[in-house]
Amino acid sequence: MEYAAGARSPSILKNGPHGPIFTNHELLRLIGPLLVEQLLATTVGMADTMMVSRCGEAAISGVSLVDMINNLVINLLAALATGGAVVVSQYLGALRKKETDKSAGQLILLSLLLGLGLGLFCFALARPMLRLFYGTIEADVLDAGVRYLQVTALSYPFLALYNAGAAIFRSMGNSKISMQVSLLMNIVNIIGNAVCIFGLGMYVEGVAWPTVISRALAAVLILAACGRKTNTVQARITFRLDGALARRILGIGIPSAFENSLFQAGRILVVSMISLFGTVQIAANAVANNLDGMGCIPGQAISLAMITVVGRCIGAREEEQATAYAKKLLKWTYITMGLFNGAILLLVGPLVGIYALSGETMDLAILLVRIHCGCGILLWPIAFVLPNALRASNDVKFTMTVSVLSMAVWRIGFSYLLGVQMGYGAVGVWIAMVVDWVCRSICFVWRFTSGVWKTKYTE
């Protein structure tokens, strides 16, 4: 053990022979703030959409198109943070203090470099990118999108730093700090949007600049918190790359980034298919996506916790505990997603009614929500939470291969067959999504039960 003599080793660092690495209380303390963070992200996104609607249809269209690109960037930054979280968690489990601190510092540096690169790229090529992705969109929509993208691109380095800091705190088992920073960031963002749009009468920049300011504030606060000497992990901020540690982080981050980016690209393709089916199906799909996101909140929170918990166990060479914790977290996911999605299914009529849709659109939206929530209770945890247990043990190539192939064959290919060729429209696309979940579930359950994933970790 490399912690200073006489220093108190936090309870989350107990090793296997002396008891469980995590108690139930510690798991709940990790998951609770993550749940709040996911809820904040979902509700604030909905509030942003409502506010920008005051700027007109061109503004809404431009912002929504750019958000597809922003989501791609967010997924890339999140993938790098995941790679860093896995490495930091593994070193924590192995009680290798020096490597733990250095890997945290390397994560911050790599995140900054990636954020700067993506920001400069999107700022300089905003107009050509929108032309490439969306073809000949109307001039006012294009102008709104360019203005929005160029400003939000300035926030990418700050978002990257926040993600890195949040990942480091999750690795420590402390998600409360990132939740508090996220709460402040979202409050600043909402107030800024209201002031800029309703008070100053700004256009799309009225929702873009508050995003930059709030993310910059979040980055400063999370990095300041990372520097506290009382932390289990003390990130050594440096501007010099450590080749070995960088390769280790990128070895997990790059496959995850590739997987996430192709997944997002696949979603863009599927949305483009739905756009062929007319306004009713486009609107129903958009509303259903909003409500279904609420049902996935607990699963998304627990999937982040899975990285920390299983990564810590693997680093401590406690493979059996890794298996036991993965099963426990999966069980908790089923319980919480059952409650969330069950509530949505019971209240689906009134919830869809909030959007004041036409009768035909409302009926279709209700059907899509029932498909997602009903099947999601059974399949979503295995398809999207369980693979994080595999990633936490460095089994990232398998998860990447399964996810990419399943997306290409079932989510995209089957959507085209059922939705376009056979004429089932949005319903066919959503059935294809469920088939994608089934494929992922079969592959990930097989891999997990085989135990091969536990052999992928090397120090």
301, 170 contact by CB (below 8 A): no
Give the distance, in angstroms, between the CA of residue 69 and the centroid of all CA atoms in the same chain.
14
The domain boundary, picked from 241, 272, 304, lies at 241
385, 329 contact by CB (below 8 A): yes
Residues spanned by the domain of 345: 259-458
Q: 8 in the Ramachandran plot: left (φ > 0), alpha (ψ -120 to 50) or beta? A: beta
CA atoms of 381 and 384, how far apart (whole Å): 6
pLDDT score recorded for residue 200: 85
Amino acid at 306: M
CA atoms of 380 and 154, how far apart (whole Å): 34
86, 394 contact by CB (below 8 A): yes
pLDDT score recorded for residue 10: 42
The domain boundary, picked from 207, 241, 275, lies at 241
CA atoms of 186 and 347, how far apart (whole Å): 27
- The ranges of the chain with pLDDT < 70 are 1-18, 45-46, 49-50, 53, 56-57, 61, 135-137, 355-356, 458-459
237 in a domain, yes or no? yes
411 in a domain, yes or no? yes
pLDDT score recorded for residue 1: 33
CA atoms of 245 and 252, how far apart (whole Å): 11
Residue 163 CB neighbour total at 10 angstroms: 27
5 in a domain, yes or no? no
318 and 230, same structural domain? no
272 and 324, same structural domain? yes
91 in a domain, yes or no? yes
409 and 373, same structural domain? yes
The domain boundary, picked from 178, 210, 241, lies at 241
pLDDT score recorded for residue 138: 76
348, 369 contact by CB (below 8 A): yes
211 in a domain, yes or no? yes
Give the distance, in angstroms, between the CA of residue 220 and the centroid of all CA atoms in the same chain.
21
Among 86, 73, 145, smallest CA distance to 116 is for: 73
91 and 213, same structural domain? yes
287, 352 contact by CB (below 8 A): yes
246 in a domain, yes or no? no
185 and 83, same structural domain? yes
Among 68, 69, 72, smallest CA distance to 257 is for: 72
304 and 222, same structural domain? no
Cα-flanking dihedrals φ and ψ of residue 94, to 5°? -85, -5
Q: Which residue has the tokens 């809404």?
A: 60
Give the burial string for 213-222 (b: 16+ CB within 10 Å, else e).
bbbbbbbebb
pLDDT score recorded for residue 391: 93
Among 150, 166, 152, smallest CA distance to 218 is for: 166
Residue 28 CB neighbour total at 10 angstroms: 13
pLDDT score recorded for residue 252: 84
Torsion, CA 57, CA 59, CA 65, CA 67, rounded to 10: -130
226 and 323, same structural domain? no
Give per-residue pLDDT as tens, 399-412: 999 999 999 999 99
DSSP 203: -
292, 340 contact by CB (below 8 A): no
CA atoms of 388 and 86, how far apart (whole Å): 10
195 and 114, same structural domain? yes
pLDDT score recorded for residue 329: 97
pLDDT score recorded for residue 322: 93
Residues making up the chain, counted from first to last: 459
97 and 224, same structural domain? yes
252 in a domain, yes or no? no
**Alpha-carbon separation of residue 400 from 85, 201, 443 (angstroms):** 18, 45, 12
Q: Which residue has the tokens 């609420």?
A: 294
- HSE-up of 220 (CA within 13 Å, CB side)? 8
Q: Is 239 helix (H, G, I), strand (E, B) or coil?
A: coil
How many separate domains does the chain show? 2
CA atoms of 302 and 206, how far apart (whole Å): 34
